[in-house]
Amino acid sequence: MKSYYRIILISYFITLSVVTKNTFAQTGWEVCSQGKTNNQNYSPNYSMITPHNPFNVVHYKLYFDLYNNFLTPFPRSFNASEVVTFRVDTALSSIHLDAVNTSLTIDSVGLSAISFTHTNNNINIQLDNMYQPDDTVSVKIFYRHLNVSDQAFYVGNGFVFTTNAPEGARKWFPCVDHPSDKATFELIAKFPSTVKFGSNGRLADSVQIADTIYHHWISRDPIATYLMTLSGKVNYNLDILYWQNPFSPGDSIPVRFYWNTGENISNLNNIKTQIMPMMTHYSNLFGEYPFEKNGFATLNNLFPWGGMEDQSLIHLCPNCWDEALVAHEFGHQWFGDLISPATWSDVWLNEGFATYCEALWLEYTNGYSAYKQEINIHAQNYFGGNPGWPIYNPSWSVVTPGINTLYNFAITYVKGSCVLHMLRYVVGDSLFFEILHSYASDPIYKYDIVNTSILNDKVNSVTGEDYDWFFDQWVYSPNHPVYQNTYSFSGSNMDWDVALTINQTQQNTVFFEMPVEIKIKFFDLTDTTFIAMNDTNNRLFSFHFNKQPTELVFDPNNEIVLKISNTVLVSANEDENIPSEFILEQNYPNPFNPNTIIRYQLPETGFVTLKVFDVLGNEVAALVNEEKTAGSYEIEFNSHSDESQNLPAGRQGLSSGIYFYQLKVENKFIETKKLVLMK
């Protein structure tokens, strides 16, 4: 599913010779259609009973008389009957189905059903027996859809269509309206013969009698109820192409295009052209296209979304033959449709993956830089709209939240996509694509349901390593790392050290353990890049080089796309870090009168003396004479004082001339430098 959205972003990437600073300032928002903001396909009460049913629906067979809905005055009411077949898990003599009272009136029940009540959006059906585990039972329900606008069954101007996500199916047929209870689906419907009509699965049969036509659609593959659909229109345009299945030579899969007269034909033709390599490419990435047909239908302005990934019949907004939108919705055929979310807490497994598919398609058509540019835009959209909750919210599995929360663009869509990019960065391309393929085509889960821990387990099993920490940080915890890094260079000639402290300052989430690329540029215009594992906060990384470094770039390729980062060069003596070597610096100022500063660094604790001598070797001052811990120090030398500087008795001050100062660390280091007093 995808909304309309627009992006405005302003990004600055400032690179100076000694300071690297990434400053992001952006805003992103969704322009929601009227239908989206008014979408009422959820209610906090709806989901309370569905996940724990003692039975599992295996098949829905619907009989709809939609003849009048296509004719003026376009009523929303229709007569229907339905056979629900279910397998018993726990002995039972009654069942509950979801059915919204304001949309549906139940007239009678049959087959194994003997009576019913319909209150609080639930039908309680009494069965004719106590049924035992593994029994298969069918009930028949005769009902009417009322002439109401319910944001699920849409009628308008020759159009009839449905859109369910997340919980609208119960407004047009009684069902167990939860994504974990997938079932096969069958629809026999009656229309005027001028209507072209589509549904899930394949068109099994069409019978025309005078001005009336009956279509019989069957999906052999199980579908989550939010993906069950129908759409039809008087004088709809319908083109059928065929994808030659490279995995099964000689086999082809129909691709249906339902479209409205007046739409942009060149955009439509582009999709007709691109869908063939897209089907092949996605099949290569995720496993062979899993359904018996593929299809797209543009609807009218009543449709509340940009697109909806109804299984094997994707719905699009009018004239929306947009390649990115199609890349997204078609990705859902695996992520959401083939493997459906066990609960709504797992909705990011749909939307994060489908959003990531947009970038993958760009990578296929335009190369890696186009992919990465798209991921960067996803990150900008996250920063523009991050509401501060995590991707995975356990409570959503109990009470389905409002759609602006469940389908929050910044979290469920683009943060999910960025997390997949960072997973790719962390495990590497080869393992990442192996994970994608194995996850999407695992025979244990396909045509069934998945959850976030199944994905986590898949990452662990494919890589042979434990990536729970990655999920804990990026999926189960909110927000993102904020880096305030410092680095310093020290050394001379062919002996240089780089000290980098990676520091995360965020207070609103956990510490983010991540491998970080570090790029060092040198005075000779060469550079080198390596990876530092930032596994504890405030960790100091030290690197040694045989040429002078001029710049350090933190995460030069912006692989950790969800971060705020500032990396600053500090001079060695301002750096509070432990120095990497003994250093005695030249005093400053020099020549001096009467005061000068002497700085020195100790990489370890030692007994330190710092003394000043005249040219004859006489000690004229002892500035330090004690044990010092590792660190950077400075001391002021005053040529006048004979008290604080511990001058020999009787000496009131030094005369102009050359002197020497010597730093000595017992058994470890000694160095002497010259200083000039000029009165």
Sign of the torsion angle spanned by Cα atoms 621, 626, 630, 634 = negative
Q: How many residues bind Zn ion (CB under 5 A)?
A: 4
Structure tokens at 449: 């349901």
Stretch that binds Zn ion, among 172-180, 310-318, 347-355, 593-601 (CB under 5 A): 347-355
Minimum Å gap between C-beta 163 and Zn ion is 12
Question: Residue 195 pairs with which residues in a beta bridge?
Answer: 234
Q: Which CB contacts under 8 angstroms, 24+ apart, belong to 246-251? A: 246/280, 246/283, 247/283, 247/288, 248/288
Minimum Å gap between C-beta 36 and Zn ion is 13
Contact track, Zn ion, 604-643, x by CB under 5 A: ----------------------------------------
Is residue 325 a contact point for Zn ion (CB under 5 A)? no
CA distance 609 to 523: 36
Asked if residues 315 and 308 have their Cβ atoms less than 8 Å apart, the reply is yes
Stretch that binds Zn ion, among 62-70, 349-357, 393-401, 503-511 (CB under 5 A): 349-357
In 3D space, the residue among 425, 331, 412 whose CA is nearest the CA of residue 378 turns out to be 412
Question: Closer to Zn ion at the Cβ: 2 or 664?
Answer: 2
Question: Closer to Zn ion at the Cβ: 164 or 501?
Answer: 164
Question: Closer to Zn ion at the Cβ: 228 or 520?
Answer: 228
Stretch that binds Zn ion, among 100-108, 346-354, 508-516, 659-667 (CB under 5 A): 346-354
Minimum Å gap between C-beta 7 and Zn ion is 17
Is residue 1 a contact point for Zn ion (CB under 5 A)? yes
Helix-helix angle 348-366:265-286, to 10 degrees: 110
Omega before 579 within 30 of 0, i.e. cis: no
Q: Which of 223, 297, 338, 354 binds Zn ion (CB under 5 A)?
A: 354
Which residue has its beta carbon closest to Zn ion?
1
- Provide the 3-class DSSP secondary structure of residue 544: strand
Omega before 556 within 30 of 0, i.e. cis: no
Question: Closer to Zn ion at the Cβ: 1 or 99?
Answer: 1
Query: Which residue carries 């695992």 as its tokens?
Result: 442
Question: Closer to Zn ion at the Cβ: 2 or 563?
Answer: 2
Q: How far is CA 547 from CA 316, 490, 525, in A?
A: 58, 11, 11
Structure tokens at 639: 């040529």
Question: Closer to Zn ion at the Cβ: 302 or 354?
Answer: 354
Minimum Å gap between C-beta 279 and Zn ion is 18
SS3 sequence, 514-540? EEEEEEEEECCCCEEEEEEEECCCCEE
Question: Closer to Zn ion at the Cβ: 2 or 182?
Answer: 2
Question: Closer to Zn ion at the Cβ: 158 or 307?
Answer: 307
Q: What are phi and psi of 215, to 5 degrees?
A: -110, 145
Q: Are strands 619-628 and 122-131 parallel, antiparallel or unpaired?
A: unpaired
Question: Closer to Zn ion at the Cβ: 2 or 233?
Answer: 2
Question: Closer to Zn ion at the Cβ: 410 or 647?
Answer: 410
Is residue 598 a contact point for Zn ion (CB under 5 A)? no
- Provide the 3-class DSSP secondary structure of residue 285: helix
Stretch that binds Zn ion, among 113-121, 276-284, 345-353, 642-650 (CB under 5 A): 345-353
Stretch that binds Zn ion, among 2-10, 62-70, 366-374, 397-405 (CB under 5 A): 2-10
What stretch of H or E contains 93?
strand 92-98
Stretch that binds Zn ion, among 6-14, 354-362, 363-371, 562-570 (CB under 5 A): 354-362
Minimum Å gap between C-beta 135 and Zn ion is 37
Minimum Å gap between C-beta 202 and Zn ion is 24
Minimum Å gap between C-beta 306 and Zn ion is 9
Asked if residues 326 and 296 have their Cβ atoms less than 8 Å apart, the reply is yes
Cα 29 → chain centroid? 17
CA distance 25 to 167: 37
Site residues (vs Zn ion, CB under 5 A): 1-2, 351, 354
